[in-house]
Structure 1
Amino acid sequence: QNFVGFLAAMFFFAVGDAFRTGVHKAMIFEYLLKQQKQQFKTDYYGRTRSWSQMGTAFSSLLAGAFVVLTGDYGLIFLFSIVPYVADLLLVMSYPKWLDGDNDSAQTSVSERFKIVWKAFLASLKNSFMLRGLTNNAVHSAFYASAKDYLQPLLKVLALSLPLQLFQEAEKQSAMIIGLVYFLIYIGTSFMSRYAGNFAKLFSQPSKPLNLTLFAGLLAGIVSGFFFQHGFELMAVVFFMVILFNENLRKPIGIAYVASLTDQKSMATLLSVQSQLKALLAAIFAPFIGFLADKYGIGNALIIFGIVVIVLSPFYWVRRVREEG
């Protein structure tokens, strides 16, 4: 009921999540380095993300059930505290050596910030790094901006189904949406789990990154076309392709960026990637929203997809052997 308070809460959540995800990914790769298994970056992170998506799948079912039983969406936010506390306890159980070099405690915060900042600026001069960061961020931002339009699509589809599960339209849509999201996240879990296998089909990580970037944008265009012409079910199917595609390419992209930097600046760069995604999503979302208001959701996805594909040469990832 207090939109400003809700906006402030989501802002702090987004900032914290951007830093948290970057640091956590760096910790995963630090662990692999310690175990001398750096070659398994994509496989290991893919399986880690797979379990995350599996948790989201069951959360979707629980969220749908809460709405059906209570009719209160606010309870979902309240109950979400439980897994966050469990996750905090899990992180506290990590090996102490993952906290970093204890000798750095003798260095002031400002000096450490300067060291990392210089390493970050040096990395940005690397064209592979710039393209890798942007390539990942563009698709993730498109996914983050466009996925919010999936729920209205599902609501339209749920209310148009001949099967009437509940007398109240709100409960009908909540149950259908919860079930569909459950199936979607089971699928995204599967895609993340086998991202490493998919990457091994190519000689260079640039190939699957560019291929999946184009595939995701094309799926958005096709979804928009079907929605614009009244084929809601097909629109939802191709919308799901965007979600599957994001979780197939994410482990490959993260491993690609991590391989182009050193351990000292890895956490910073992976956090920057999360923040770049958030920044681009903040740009993409109102642009797609403006197009949706003016031309409809379907045409908005078509126009946006075409524009991003036209601009893709600026963030097309080149082959690693071209480096230098």
Structure 2
Amino acid sequence: MINRFKAYGFLKNLKFFEPYLIIFLINKNISFTLIGTLFSIRFLTTWFFEVPSGIIADIYSKKKALLFSISCYMVSFFIFYISKDLLFLSLAMFVFGIGEAFRSGTHKGIIMDYLHDINEIENTHTYYSSTRSYSMLGSSLNALISIFIILSRPDLSMLFLFSIFPYFLCFLLLLSYPENKKSKTISIKRQIKLFFLELKDFFRTRGIIDYAMSDAFYKSLKEYIQPVIILSVPVCGAFLSKQGMKNINIGIVYFFLNLINAYSAGMSKKIKSISKENIHIILKRFGYLMFLTILLCSIFLYFRITFMPVLFFILMYVIYNLRKPVFISYFSIYTSADQRTSVLSAASFISVLISSAVAPLIGFFADIYSVPVSLMMISTMYMISYFFISVRRI
């Protein structure tokens, strides 16, 4: 099963359009404010379906929930491919958001169930770090393949069409997963009651707010590395058009970014067991580091210092990948086996809600001022909010 988990992580990250999503939307003559609104539609859709999808997965079948998720992704890719206006783009984001809701937390829940069955639950951190490193390797290959697709088919919409194939393979892989029948004996009413009891304790945990805040920060800002690359990496080479070379630069940066992330995700398993008392301190420090890296990135970008903004953006990705397995390890120990998917969905629920509110703000500030100033303002706002929330929870 572990090899299948790794294969899933590898295939689900073969979204060839991912390094170019914002560039694709900009080429549709859409303002940053509308781009932020489109991301907000996706986030709000995920937020709306997040908790119900987790409960459905826990009660009926995590496997079927994932199959439905992959199907939604493939439909959204096709809608993106044929999209001609804002209505189609909004619909694509909506369907993508449903796929995100049914995916988030579900596969982690399957991994935890498997480790629980083989009495290896205390090693969740090691297993999850290993599968996550394969996910990042998939992302690196994804960036390389996207470059070749762009060289042969300059139309960025083709990236969405080509992305359907690896997701179809992922669908076939999930069909080979065994069914976990334990949670089917739990009634919906009891599952919902247990979920809210877990959620009550969940909010009392000092690390959860820190985790949700930094996760929301990452989700709302990670796509903006694309314009950051265009603004900070010089265009060189005469064999392509200027725009074509910029797109190649994005693919190259994404390749190295995900290669570094794969290494950092694998290295995070060397962080040994962390006590419940210390986890909130570690998560808080990771959060501050993430905010600080983007603040420095935006400052270097504002003063047009070549390459430095990209390096700090990559550093944010690395910190995120070091932090996430630590949280998953802690989480796997302090939640019950039949509630893990529901509570993981609840954690994502909080994060996505924050992201959906912030995404339009990023675009709005980018339109009024610039991308560097927008990143500077948002990272400062996050850091101040994070500080006051952390102080109140000490």
Q: Deviations over 1:217-256 (max 9, x none)?
A: 0101111111111114111111111111111111112232
Query: How many Å separate the matches in 1 of 2:190 and 2:148?
Result: 49
Aligned CA-pair RMSD:
2.5
Mean CA deviation greater in 24-33 or 144-153: 144-153
Change in Cα spacing, 1:42 to 1:103, as seen in structure 2 (3 Å) is closer
1:184 Cα shift? Answer: 0.2
Distance in 2 between residues matched to 1:308 and 1:251, nearest whole Å = 22
Amino acid at match of 2:166: P
1:209 pairs with 280, 283, 287, which one? Answer: 283
Q: Which residue of 2 aligns with 1:299?
A: 373
SS at match of 1:230: coil
The equivalent residue for 1:80 is 163
Q: Does 1:113 align with 2:193?
A: no
Query: Counterparts of 1:55-94 in structure 2 under 5 Å?
Result: 55-94=138-177
Partner secondary structure for residue 335 of structure 2: coil
> 1:8-44 CA deviation, whole Å, 9 max, x = no partner?
2222222222222311111101111111111111121
Instruction: Provide the residue aligned with 1:173 in structure 2.
Output: 246
Q: Of the candidates 244, 268, 282, which is equivalent to residue 195 of structure 1?
A: 268
Is 1:148–2:223 an aligned residue pair?
Answer: yes
Instruction: Find the aligned partners of 1:181 and 1:173 in 2 and give their Cα distance.
Output: 12
Change (3 A) 1:145 1:55: same
Deviates further, 229-238 or 215-224: 229-238
Give 1:67 deviation, angstroms. 1.3
Answer yes or no: is 1:253 the counterpart of 2:327: yes
Question: How many angstroms apart in 2 are the aligned matches of 1:316 and 1:31?
Answer: 34
Partner of 2:201: 126
Contact persistence 2:291–2:379 (CA under 8 A): yes
Alignment of 1:27-42 (within 5 A): 27-42=110-125
Q: Residues 275-316 of structure 1, C-alpha deviation per residue, up to 9 Å, x if partnerless?
A: 333222111111222232333222322222222222225654
Q: Which moved more, 1:169-178 or 1:8-17?
A: 8-17
The aligned amino acid for 2:118 is Q
CA 83–73 in structure 1, closer or farther in 2 if over 3 Å, else same = same
Q: Is the 8 A contact 2:203 2:209 kept in 1?
A: no
Task: Tell me the TM-score normalized by structure 2.
Answer: 0.72
1-structure distance, mates of 2:391, 2:196 = 20
2:344 is aligned with 1:270: yes
SS of the aligned residue for 1:36 comes to coil
Partner of 1:7: 90
Q: Who is 2:312 aligned against?
A: 238
Q: Confirm whether residue 221 of structure 1 aligns to residue 257 of structure 2.
A: no
1:23 aligns with 2:23: no
- The Cα shift of 1:199 comes to 4.9
1:100 aligns with 2:175: no
Residue 132 of structure 1 contacts residue 257 of structure 1 at CA under 8 Å; is this kept in 2?
Answer: no
The one-letter code matched in structure 2 to 1:100 is K
**Rounded Cα–Cα distance in structure 2 between residues aligned with 1:242 and 1:70:** 31
Residue 44 (structure 1) aligns with? 127
What is the Cα deviation at residue 179 of structure 1? Answer: 1.0
Cα distance change of structure 1 residues 128 and 281 upon mapping to structure 2, 3 Å threshold: closer
Secondary structure of the corresponding residue to residue 298 of structure 2: helix
Q: Following TM superposition, by how much is the alpha carbon of 1:201 offset from its aligned partner in structure 2, in angstroms? A: 7.8
Q: Mean Cα displacement is larger for which, 217-226 or 200-209?
A: 200-209
Which letter maps to 2:246? S
Letter in 2 for 1:94: Y
Which amino acid in the other structure matches residue 279 of structure 2? P
- 8 A Cα contact 1:61 1:179, kept in partner: yes
- Structure 2: which 5+ runs fail to align? 1-83
Distance across 2 between alignment mates of 1:233 and 1:201: 36
Q: Give distance in 2, aligned partners of 1:44 and 1:24.
A: 13
Q: How many residues align?
A: 310
- State percent identity of aligned pairs: 29
Contact 2:136 2:261 survives alignment (8 Å): yes
Closer, same or farther: CA 201–27 of 1 in aligned 2, 3 Å: closer
Paired residues of 1:131 and 1:315 also in contact (CA < 8 A): no
Question: Gaps spanning 5+ residues in structure 1: where?
Answer: none
Preserved CA contact (<8 Å) 1:209 1:317:
no
Aligned-pair CA distance for 1:103: 5.6
Mapped partners of 1:313, 1:153: distance in 2:
27
